[in-house]
Amino acid sequence: MTTLLDQINLPADLRALNKDDLPQVAGELRQFLLDSISTTGGHFASNLGAVELTIALHYVFNTPYDRIVWDVGHQSYPHKVLTGRRDRMGTMRQQNGLAGFPKREESEYDTFGVGHSSTSIGAALGFAEASKLQGENRKAIAIIGDGSMTAGMAFEALNNAGDRDVDLLVILNDNEMSISPNVGALNNYLAKMLSGKFYNGFRNVSGRMLDKVPPLRELAKRSEEQLKGLFTPGLLFEEFGFNYIGPIDGHDIDTLVTTLSNIKKLSGPQFLHVVTKKGQGYKLAVADPVKYHAVTPFTPENGMTGKSGSSKPSFTQVFGEWLCDMAAKDERLVGITPAMREGSGLVKFAEQFPDRYFDVGIAEQHAVTFAGGMACEGVKPVVAIYSTFLQRAYDQLVHDVALQNLPVVFAIDRAGLVGADGPTHAGSFDYSFLRCIPNMAILAPGDENECRQMLYTAFLHDGPTAVRYPRGSGIGATVEPEMTALPWGKGEVRRKGSKVAILSFGTRLGAALHAGDALDATVANMRFVKPLDDALLAELAASHDLIVTVEDNAIMGGAGSAVLESLSAQGIQVDTLLLGLPDSYVEHGEQNKLLADCGLDGAGVEAAIRKKLG
């Protein structure tokens, strides 16, 4: 049977429907998403929560002429279905398939590339100002979640936009969730007002009472606008120069269409507050939106059983275990996360050490500076942060921590290629952007046991130290419960060979050993990217014809560059070959396949060396 959804190839097809058909479209779209995402995996609960809002937006606004900017974009699957990609949803986050986030080169309806949070208001303001300069009559609409609203740059953009005469609509999609439950004063403010019976009660009572006295009704109408500001979350946003509307039910498509149609006629900065349920329409996701934020393939009737996945502990789990063990040994330790409790492995730590656990919201810049402040007082902060998200806190790294040589440990997860999330989430550059910072140390474990020992070594070091490890698990080394400090700045030879010396940094050790066996090459596990083991390098350069470096970081400025700098500084001449990530963005796909495509698996390293040797 042909569904309404089958007839919608582009938003123009949607806009040709009668408004009364939209609830049916919503039901069909929600079922389509459940079937599709339970098959491919990907982001889930946020997409179910955005179904009605997405339909209403494309129904009311003349997309793509009017510009929609999604924040993070993990909730953009409904948008992708309605904008010509329904039949490609089965390729979601697969190599050469659809990206998991809006991507300009994927569709004209994807106005701005996203993946990192809290950029939508700033970008949409850019669209709005450009439209004004070009004499266009576009509407610019940013849809930002309550979690993403906790980042500073969202308020930088609000502050700027509220002072401008532009047609910008900011829609706050408030479901009281980040990945974990949302945190912070803004969240408390929104929740208090939304749950406040007083606000709803006030509107009912005033409506009933004043209807009886017509002359007062007009006065009350005007005063309700003023009073509304006292009882709805709007006051905050009104003070930022926006016209606040809401809160409205983000699943009531009729109200959404009516409200958006009215707002469309208004000029100046508008702020619409919608209330949604993360996982709406799928009971298991509503009950556990944390678990269903992102899913691996599952059967809708049974839900995610958690049976799939590797039996080997992930580096994230190794970190989480270490953090709890270290906290038990040293009461100065605190754990800090910018809204990635689950992803960074702090669930157990948060339960066991609630007073020493800090989720600062999606606020990486604040997380780093906050850690610096704590370190000044003798507290020992461990900042758990994805490599890609640490990019957002670069000045804080330099100015607030390294320049003052403060003992902060950065447990950098998702280093290197991450796979399905693609280039917005790859941790391709941390060696490069950390190495040039004076006082910064960088440790890169070759396996899971080294990860634990390096975290301990970093914790003992009196200065800023990064330990960086990839998404997933490594070669499956047994993790020793004993914590042993590694010799600072020292690498180790893991295999003796001749002619060729392969210097491995981080978890490319497995690939290096494979190539070492095939070529009878020496293999060194360098352990430290900074400080580099210059003496070991000199020794290997003196006894081999070719020095090869292998890393899952950009070659530009990476560990291989450190080796070249050291050889130059030591006045050593030797042939070299640098293997690492290319000076381009590696698209999404399966993590190990992508590494192999970059020549960073065993076969690739071996082939590159054979080619070099001629």
Ligand X SMILES: CC(=O)[C@@H](O)[C@H](O)COP(=O)(O)O
Known binding positions for thiamine diphosphate = 74, 115-117, 147-148, 175, 282, 364
What is the x/- site pattern for ligand TPP, positions 268-297, by CB under 6 A? ----------x-------------------
Give 393 or 402: the residue with its C-beta nearer to ligand TPP: 393
421 interface partner picked from ligand X, ligand TPP, Mg ion, none, CB below 5 to 8 A per type:
ligand X
What is the x/- site pattern for ligand TPP, positions 473-512, by CB under 6 A? ----------------------------------------
The answer to whether 414 touches 469, Cβ cutoff 8 Å, is no
339 interface partner picked from ligand TPP, ligand X, Mg ion, none, CB below 5 to 8 A per type:
ligand TPP
In the complex, the smallest distance separating the C-beta of residue 269 from ligand X, rounded to whole angstroms, is 27
In the complex, the smallest distance separating the C-beta of residue 175 from Mg ion, rounded to whole angstroms, is 4
Answer yes or no whether residue 46 interacts with ligand TPP by CB under 6 A.
yes
Answer yes or no whether residue 470 interacts with ligand X by CB under 6 A.
no
Sheet holding 465-468, edge to edge: 357-359, 333-337, 380-386, 409-413, 465-468, 441-443, 528-530
The answer to whether 388 touches 116, Cβ cutoff 8 Å, is yes
Phi, psi torsion values for 272, nearest 5 degrees: -105, 125
Helix (H) or strand (E) segment spanning residue 554: strand 546-554
E-assigned strands of 352-485? 357-359, 380-386, 409-413, 441-443, 465-468
The answer to whether 278 touches 45, Cβ cutoff 8 Å, is yes
| Window 268-297: residues binding ligand X (CB under 6 A) | 294
If you count them, how many residues does the chain have? 614
Answer yes or no whether residue 414 interacts with ligand X by CB under 6 A.
yes
Give the Cα-Cα-Cα angle 260, 261, 264 (nearest 5 degrees).
Answer: 80
What is the x/- site pattern for Mg ion, positions 148-187, by CB under 5 A? ---------------------------x-x----------
| Window 138-177: residues binding ligand TPP (CB under 6 A) | 145-148, 173, 175, 177
Helix boundaries (H) for 240-305: 253-264, 283-287
The answer to whether 167 touches 202, Cβ cutoff 8 Å, is no
Of 445, 415, 435, the C-alpha closest to 427 is 415
Answer yes or no whether residue 72 interacts with ligand X by CB under 6 A.
yes
Residues in binding contact with ligand TPP, number by CB under 6 A: 22
Residues in binding contact with Mg ion, number by CB under 5 A: 5
For 302, counting Cβ atoms within 10 Å of its Cβ (0-12 exposed, 13-18 middle, 19+ buried), the class is: exposed
- Which residues are within 8 A (CB) of 493 and not within 5 positions of it... i.e. 6 or more apart? 522, 523, 524, 525, 536, 540
Answer yes or no whether residue 341 interacts with ligand X by CB under 6 A.
no
Answer yes or no whether residue 178 interacts with ligand TPP by CB under 6 A.
yes
C-beta atoms surrounding 207 within 10 Å: 12
| Candidate list 102, 147, 320, 345; residue touching Mg ion; CB under 5 A | 147
In the complex, the smallest distance separating the C-beta of residue 213 from ligand TPP, rounded to whole angstroms, is 42
**Cα separation, 6 vs 86, whole angstroms:** 9
Amino acid found at 42: G
Helix boundaries (H) for 169-298: 185-195, 197-211, 214-231, 234-239, 253-264, 283-287
> Which residues are identified as catalytic?
278, 364, 392
Q: Could you tell me the end-to-end alpha-carbon distance of the chain, in angstroms, rounded to an integer?
A: 62
Answer yes or no whether residue 343 interacts with ligand X by CB under 6 A.
yes
Answer yes or no whether residue 468 interacts with ligand X by CB under 6 A.
no
- Which residues are within 8 A (CB) of 272 and not within 5 positions of it... i.e. 6 or more apart? 169, 170, 171, 172, 245, 246, 248, 259, 260, 263
| Candidate list 67, 79, 116, 138; residue touching ligand TPP; CB under 6 A | 116
Answer yes or no whether residue 414 interacts with ligand TPP by CB under 6 A.
no
Give 49 or 246: the residue with its C-beta nearer to ligand TPP: 49
In the complex, the smallest distance separating the C-beta of residue 597 from ligand TPP, rounded to whole angstroms, is 25
Binding interface with ligand TPP (CB under 6 A):
46, 49, 72, 74-75, 116-117, 145-148, 173, 175, 177-179, 278, 339, 362, 364, 389, 392
**Which residues sit at the interface with ligand X, rule CB under 6 A?**
72, 74, 179, 294, 343, 414, 418, 421, 425, 471
Residues within the interface to Mg ion (CB under 5 A): 145-147, 175, 177
